[in-house]
Amino acid sequence: MSQLHAPRDILAQVRHQVAYPAVKLPPPAAQAIIKGFFYAHGRRGWSDMGRLWSDADCAAKLWDLGVTRASLTRGMLEQTLRQKGTWDGWKRMVGADGRFATGLVAHVRRVLDLHLRHRYQIHDTREAPVLVPCAAHYPPLFAYQAEAVEAFTTAGRGVVALPPRAGKTRIAIAVIMALGLPTLYVVPSIGLVEQTVKAMLEFMPAHMVVGLTGGKPNAKTRRRMNTSLVWVATPATAAGPKPKRGMRRGIEGMTSRRVLIVDEFHHAAAETWQAISLSAVNAYYRLGMTGTHFRADGHDMAMRAVLAKAVYHKTVDDMVKLGRLTPASIAMVRVPGWVDCSGRLAHREAIADYSPRNAMIVSAVKTLAALGRRVLVLTKEVNHSKLLAAAIPKAAQVDGKDNAAVAPALRDLERGKLNAVVGTSVIGEGRDVPGADALVYAVGGKSRVKVTQDLFRPLTASPGKRRALVVDFADNHHGTTIDHAAHRLAIYREERAFDTRVVNPADLAGWAEAHHAA
């Protein structure tokens, strides 16, 4: 943490500038009117919105404040009534006492320099720990990985922004060995804890690393933690138990960690990840790793509060030229028909339960499998994955309910025992699937982070793999899905290493054959 010591008026202006819109809400004055109405008349569930606007006096006051029936959504109403007092919806990243996350030092300096033209001095009271390099366990690296390690160890904190499948775990292991300091390594899921520990054990003895999942560690695990150089943990475990009030204080022994590594760093704006960052008070070295150094929800400032900037960066095109990723051919297949439902039900009615689209997904998998491709099928919902797996010959369905079944299924896919593995995010973000060389993307949606993370599952370079094939769907059968598909198409077309085309269902087989042979 850092702290700004400044006159009250300057601090107030800095707090106003170092902020981002976290929630869309009516103006505070309108919130007070809404709260007053329901305090007087009580809540009645779904009829609340209609009752609010049927009160002529209340509606007139809201209208005068610029709030209309069209602009006040149910989500805004619920947030207004749920919160204490009123709020303008902006998240202030500098506290009333001047404290703020160190990752925002550069941002605070810009505000003081450019907006307020206020003079200041910076005093860094941190003490750098003495390094204890473990050269005997240093992993072999590609040139760009060595450059990333050098860039981070020189800077001391920052993000290594490399495309998914570029070997960021190997970089993290090298950083740990170069520093030789007690490390907390946070990854998003139980499956990734297991995958990361397995990767580390290739280069270091078992007593140096411990995986932490499932909440509070038991006595046996705590004894291992006392002697381990590296703790690999999920966010829920690393953040410690959730108190009745306030923020989590971190797992027991957190203060012993001098290095904090955050995998899939784009999650760092979330409350649990923020709690981990604030609890690791003695972590002088802080490394974030991600293939998507941005937030889909616009909360980039909260993410950068943990680590301010990228210290090393390579593009997808760079990784393809280096031979670490394969280029991809992407077909977006036009979906026929039209679904008449609300936007809220669009995923259910127009994606998961839409029979023509599901039939096209099954057909796409069969087409790719017939060419000898090893296919991943990604869905948003578990039930959708089960429905598709049941219709695809020699397919296995996996989900987060049984993490132990994921690795065997992916091995069977790589060995040709399965045509496809169908699943949700358990085979998405962070999962290493070098054997897969085709993806059928049944998720829909428009989240840039999720689409980018999912897309790279079959792009890991491996012997004999020259080009990955990806089939997505131009969902032009509902207003919401049209918008989402257009966003995905734009994301694909941004990368020079991707050959992206929109095709008719009847042309998919020809497209697959032509690009399979390319």
pLDDT digits over 346-404, tens only?
A: 999 999 999 999 999 999 999 999 999 999 999 999 999 999 999 999 999 998 777 77
Examine the domain organization and report whether 205 and 352 are in the same domain: no
The CB-based long-range contact list for 355-358 (8 Å cut-off, 24+ gap) reads 356/477, 357/442, 357/473, 357/475, 357/477, 358/387, 358/388, 358/391
How high is the pLDDT of residue 205?
93
Examine the domain organization and report whether 344 and 308 are in the same domain: no
How high is the pLDDT of residue 299?
65
> Does the structure show a pLDDT above 90 at 208?
yes
Whether residue 388 is contained in a domain is answered as yes
Percentage with pLDDT > 70 across the chain: 95
Examine the domain organization and report whether 160 and 65 are in the same domain: no
Whether residue 43 is contained in a domain is answered as yes
By mean pLDDT, which of 61-70, 84-93, 269-278 is the weakest?
Answer: 269-278
- Show which of 268, 295, 314 is a domain's final residue: 314
Q: Yes or no: say if 31 and 62 are a contact pair by the CB < 8 Å rule.
A: no
How high is the pLDDT of residue 345?
93
- Show which of 296, 314, 332 is a domain's final residue: 314
Examine the domain organization and report whether 371 and 456 are in the same domain: yes
Select the more confidently predicted residue: 403 or 210.
210
How high is the pLDDT of residue 303?
67
If residue 219 lies in a helix (H) or strand (E), which one and from where to where?
helix 219-227
Select the more confidently predicted residue: 416 or 122.
416
Question: Residue 290's beta-bridge partner residues?
Answer: 161
Whether residue 58 is contained in a domain is answered as yes
DSSP 327-362: -EEEEEEEPPS-----GGGHIIIIIIT-HHHHHHHH
Whether residue 116 is contained in a domain is answered as no
Q: Give me the mean pLDDT over the 298-319 stretch.
A: 79
Examine the domain organization and report whether 359 and 496 are in the same domain: yes
Whether residue 128 is contained in a domain is answered as no
Examine the domain organization and report whether 350 and 278 are in the same domain: no
Closest C-alpha to 285, from 177, 409, 365, 391:
177
How high is the pLDDT of residue 61?
95
What range does the domain containing 86 cover?
2-108
- Looking at every residue in the chain, the average pLDDT score rounds to 90
- Give tens-digit pLDDT for 413-442: 999 999 999 998 777 555 667 889 999 999
Examine the domain organization and report whether 139 and 98 are in the same domain: no
- Show which of 314, 339, 373 is a domain's final residue: 314
Q: Is 148 helix (H, G, I), strand (E, B) or coil?
A: helix
pLDDT band at 107 (very low <50, low <70, confident <90, very high): confident
Residues in Cβ contact with 310 at an 8 Å cutoff, skipping those fewer than 6 apart: 158, 159, 160, 161, 293
How high is the pLDDT of residue 484?
96
How high is the pLDDT of residue 482?
96
How high is the pLDDT of residue 119?
75
Whether residue 308 is contained in a domain is answered as yes
Residue 272 in tokens: 């649990």
Examine the domain organization and report whether 289 and 369 are in the same domain: no
> Does the structure show a pLDDT above 90 at 493?
yes
Examine the domain organization and report whether 364 and 480 are in the same domain: yes
Residue 451 in tokens: 């689409």
Q: CA 320, CA 328: separation in Å to the nearest integer? A: 10
pLDDT band at 137 (very low <50, low <70, confident <90, very high): confident
> Does the structure show a pLDDT above 80 at 290?
yes
pLDDT band at 21 (very low <50, low <70, confident <90, very high): confident
- Give tens-digit pLDDT for 456-480: 888 988 888 999 999 999 999 999 9
pLDDT band at 298 (very low <50, low <70, confident <90, very high): low
* Sign of the CA dihedral running 390, 392, 396, 399: negative
Whether residue 28 is contained in a domain is answered as yes
- Give tens-digit pLDDT for 25-80: 999 999 999 999 999 999 988 889 999 999 999 999 999 999 999 999 999 999 99
Q: CA 262, CA 351: separation in Å to the nearest integer? A: 33
pLDDT band at 294 (very low <50, low <70, confident <90, very high): low
- Give tens-digit pLDDT for 497-506: 999 999 999 9
Examine the domain organization and report whether 75 and 94 are in the same domain: yes
pLDDT band at 269 (very low <50, low <70, confident <90, very high): low
Examine the domain organization and report whether 47 and 184 are in the same domain: no
Query: Looking at the 3D structure of the chain, how many domains does it have?
Result: 3
Local structure of residue 394 (DSSP, 8 states): T
Task: For residue 304, give the CATH number of its domain.
Answer: 3.40.50.300
Q: How many C-beta atoms lie closer than 10 Å to residue 391's C-beta?
A: 15
- pTM for the whole thing? 0.76
Q: Give me the mean pLDDT over the 213-228 stretch.
A: 89
> Can you give the C-alpha Rg of the chain in angstroms?
25
> Does the structure show a pLDDT above 70 at 450?
yes
Q: Give Dmax over CA atoms of the chain in angstroms.
A: 77
Q: CA 219, CA 222: separation in Å to the nearest integer? A: 5
Examine the domain organization and report whether 158 and 307 are in the same domain: yes
**What does DSSP say about strands 438-441 and 375-378: parallel, antiparallel, or unpaired?**
parallel
Whether residue 118 is contained in a domain is answered as no
How high is the pLDDT of residue 29?
95
Q: Is 473 helix (H, G, I), strand (E, B) or coil?
A: strand
Q: Give me the mean pLDDT over the 73-92 stretch.
A: 92
Report the Cα 425 to chain-centroid distance in Å. Answer: 11
Query: Up-side HSE of residue 206: CA atoms within 13 Å toward CB?
Result: 0
